[in-house]
Amino acid sequence: MKLIMLGAPGAGKGTQAKRVAEEYKIPHISTGDIFRANIKGGTELGMKAKTYMDAGQLVPDELVCDLVADRIQQDDCANGFVLDGFPRTIPQAEALDVALTKIGQKMDFAIDIDVPDENIITRMGGRRACLSCGATYHVVYNAPKVENVCDACGNALVIREDDKPETVKKRLDVYHEQTQPLIDYYTKAGILVSVDGTKNMDEVFADIKAVLGK
């Protein structure tokens, strides 16, 4: 079972990808994890990626796809895998298809966690973080006992820069410009399935399992 998880920042695709991986005993693969593993292992591909990252540049699509292709051919991917955060663009999707074709494989599903922008802005804007101990909260879903005070260590809670409405809006704009076209790409390929990401996490996961047929 080979899956791609799609969804805007804050839609919950990372959470669902991890649950799918655990449920179906397949690896949860993110490009960040691949970069770290290859750099730590000192592989040729990892060292190439590191030169770009050290220079503050984006790793080229071709190299990212080589790293992903190398990862999905490892033994633990024999029964499938779930890709989280890749591909992000049409060129990456096309390169992934080419890489898969070379090894006689293809993706089974691209699952889009669909959440309206206004929901995401509200959801992420409600997050609060403790910079002292790392605990995280949400004013609606997981509120601290005392407003803006960390339950664990008693220090003040803050809104991270990434969670401020104006920052979230910018990230969503980038997503719609670069990644949203993947919805059309995988629709044409006949493998896209959308699930309602406004439901609670357990309901979303149940909908995904219904799609996967197990």
Is 88 a residue of the active site?
Answer: yes
**Which residues lie below 8 Å from residue 11, measured CB to CB, with a gap of 6+?**
113, 114, 115, 120, 197
Cβ contacts of 57 within 8 Å, gap of 6 or more: none
- Partners of 114 in beta bridges: 196
25 an active-site residue? no
Question: Of residues 2, 19, 123, 127, which has the active-site annotation?
Answer: 127
The active-site residue out of 2, 13, 71, 123 is 13
Catalytic residue among 88, 164, 199, 209: 88
Contact 177, 87 (CB under 8 A): no
Among 164, 171, 199, 209, the active-site one is 171
Among 25, 36, 106, 160, the one annotated catalytic: 160
Of 82, 78, 75, the residue nearest 33 (C-alpha): 82
Using DSSP bridges, classify how beta strands 81-84 and 109-114 pair: parallel, antiparallel or unpaired: unpaired
Gap between the Cα atoms of 208 and 33, Å rounded:
23
Is 127 a known active-site residue? yes
Q: Known catalytic residues?
A: 13, 88, 127, 160, 171
